[in-house]
Amino acid sequence: MTRPAPRGETPEALAHEIRQCNACAAAFAATDTGHAPRPVVHLSTRARILVTGQAPGARVHVSGVSFDDASGDRLRDWMGIDRVTFYDADRIAIASAAFCFPGYSASGSDLPPPGCCARVWRARVLAAMPQVDLTLLIGRHAHALAGTPHRTVTEAVRNWRDGAPSVFVLPHPSWRNTAWLTRNRWFGEEVLPALRAAVAERL
């Protein structure tokens, strides 16, 4: 259930509240990693770009910095920006579908982001940042936040023009998707130039 947002809630106050959240503590303790919640979120009063991934990975859980990994390097390349720009709170906000590392499955893959995170916080995050006019939805769990009707990531990304230039539906930049990028060269040829142009316009 979404908590009501205080009138005139600031991104800074909301980020502080999110970082105190431990709603999934029991679920995370029961995973193979047995970790505690560590919400990672970067909100902003001025940023026009909102990056929405799926959930932090194990490395980000340790560092507390979103996309502080190889996936982040690839994402920044897709966007045509460097690390300094990416972590400039006046330019880019980062709020994923879930704010905590969900742990690993028995096969060693990341577990899906807990759905309760978006239900509780997403509307308040968006309401606190009305200046955002470009949102990147990265990976299928982030795609679901936009209610995309497409059944697969490929189908959703192929229809990227449906939301552009204010919303870009992207695959996850994980190394696991390198083969996908090789098979779908249209992504680099069609989507990335449009994405970089949209990012540059907001910056």
State the average pLDDT over residues 48-64: 94
H or E element, residue 163: none
Set out the domains of the chain in order of their start, with CATH numbers. 11-202 (3.40.470.10)
Name the DSSP letter for residue 54.
S
- Among the residues of the chain, which ranges form H helices? 11-19, 25-29, 58-63, 70-79, 83-86, 115-128, 140-143, 153-158, 178-183, 186, 192-202
In sequence order, the 6+-apart residues with CB closer than 8 A to the CB of 72 are 66, 86, 173
Q: Who wins on pLDDT, 29 or 7?
A: 29
The answer, yes or no, to whether residue 183 has pLDDT greater than 50, is yes
In this prediction, residue 6 carries a pLDDT of 56
Average pLDDT, the chain: 92
State the average pLDDT over residues 22-45: 93
The answer, yes or no, to whether residue 97 has pLDDT greater than 50, is yes
Q: Who wins on pLDDT, 105 or 83?
A: 83
Q: Answer for the pair 201, 81: CB distance below 8 angstroms, yes or no.
A: no
H or E element, residue 138: strand 134-138
Q: Who wins on pLDDT, 168 or 3?
A: 168
pLDDT confidence of 199, banded at 50, 70, 90?
very high
In this prediction, residue 104 carries a pLDDT of 86
Q: Who wins on pLDDT, 47 or 148?
A: 47
Q: CA quadruple 102, 106, 108, 112: dihedral positive or negative?
A: negative
In sequence order, the 6+-apart residues with CB closer than 8 A to the CB of 177 are 171
pLDDT confidence of 19, banded at 50, 70, 90?
very high
